[in-house]
Amino acid sequence: MSATAPWTTTKPTALLVLADGTVITGKGIGATGKVQAEVCFNTALTGYQEIMTDPSYLGQIVTFTFPHIGNIGANDEDIEDLTPAARHGAVGVVFKADITAPSSYRSAKHLDAWLKARGIIGLCGIDTRALTAWIRENGAPNAVIAHDPNGVFDIEALKAEAKAWGGLEGLDLAKVASSGQSSRFAQKPWAWNEEFGELAEADATHHVVALDYGVKRNILRLLTGLGCKVTVVPATTSAEDVLALKPDGIFLSNGPGDPAATGEYAVPVIQELIKTDIPVFGICLGHQMLGLALGAKTEKMHQGHHGANHPVKDHTTGKVEIVSMNHGFAVDSKSLPEGVEETHVSLFDGSNCGLRLKGKPVFSVQHHPEASPGPQDSHYLFRRFINLVREKKGEAALTER
């Protein structure tokens, strides 16, 4: 990629300035302004609204490899962050093609208007394949994305800002993405052509406390769909306060940032919770912090895993599932201590995607089993968790499949 990458004869209204000085020019969309973030790419063909509202993308600019983004518009249902008023998720987006007029009966708003409302800065009209290839070769870069409708930019200042930004390593973003207070989540899984309903208190047979590091709504929906009363608590909640809620199970959520940074306050809590023998289930950042709590190490990945076509093998069943991934850090499988078993592995690069603590009802996965690329290849993990809860309570197990 050249140091300056012009694409049109018209004046550019948006720039993506990488930390190495590369300047990519394009057409601005969404919110105006500028923001520093890490640039990654996502290979999913669908679900762009869910991707952009996933709190795990906080601090990142998402380059979509699928060329046509926005053609089904935006709605109020396909939002993953728990507190949409705070607008946690991607801070910037990069598209190949212009956003077209929406063509879906579910559309409530043009995607450009939705991006503006959420404060997401965007750029389109660039060669996203070239940018993706650059990231694959060089790793996910720090950058500044800027949008000015008048096309007025101080490029040298933007280069300096991109170079100066410290990146995601050492950055705790879970406190930012987490809900500020405890709350009950009762929304049931979405059914085709139906409104979201709520689980009645009387129908909740198990109480799950979810530590919110940036949790996705659909994770919580799948828990309520299995008859769970779900209490969501902030990331900084103490073990004492979690146990005071008398949970049958404890969930460690996904979220953004460096797990080692979040782990400074979260890991001691997780270690105390493990001692109680209450079943524990972690996803994504929750998986990484469980790994840290058990004595493993985490590491920054070269480009991360972001997409909905990732093959993962479950060693406990021998089956391969197609999963959704969104992480830039991973548990170092070589650092897993004795007594901790690797349960899942990526068939793309062999990286760790799951673990369990032998002799304890404690396990986690790196991927997102609530997403539906398979489409439901990984939903069994929620039933696996509930079966640990049921076993603890002396109840019959559900079938995992």
Where in the sequence numbering do the catalytic residues fall? 284, 368, 370
Contacts of 375 (CB under 8 A, 6+ apart): none
Eight-state DSSP code of residue 142: E
**What is the side-by-side strand order in the sheet with 280-283?**
183-185, 228-234, 206-212, 249-252, 280-283, 362-365, 352-357, 340-346, 298-314, 319-331
Cα 44 to its chain centre, rounded Å, is 13
Report the length, in residues, of the chain. Answer: 401
- C-alpha angle 364/368/372, rounded to 5°? 140
Q: Other CB atoms closer than 10 Å to residue 43's CB: what's the count?
A: 16
Q: Which two tokens stand for residue 65?
A: 């490899």
Residue identified by tokens 């590091």 is: 213
Cα gap 268→260, rounded to integer Å: 12
Among residues 283, 375, 280, the alpha carbon closest in space to that of 322 is found at: 375
**E strand or H helix at 347, and its extent?**
none
Nearest-CA neighbor of 155 among 25, 39, 6, 62?
Answer: 25
Query: Residues with Cβ < 8 Å from 132, sequence gap 6 or more?
Result: 41, 63, 65
Cβ atoms of residues 250 and 273 within 8 Å? yes
* Three-class DSSP category at 134: helix
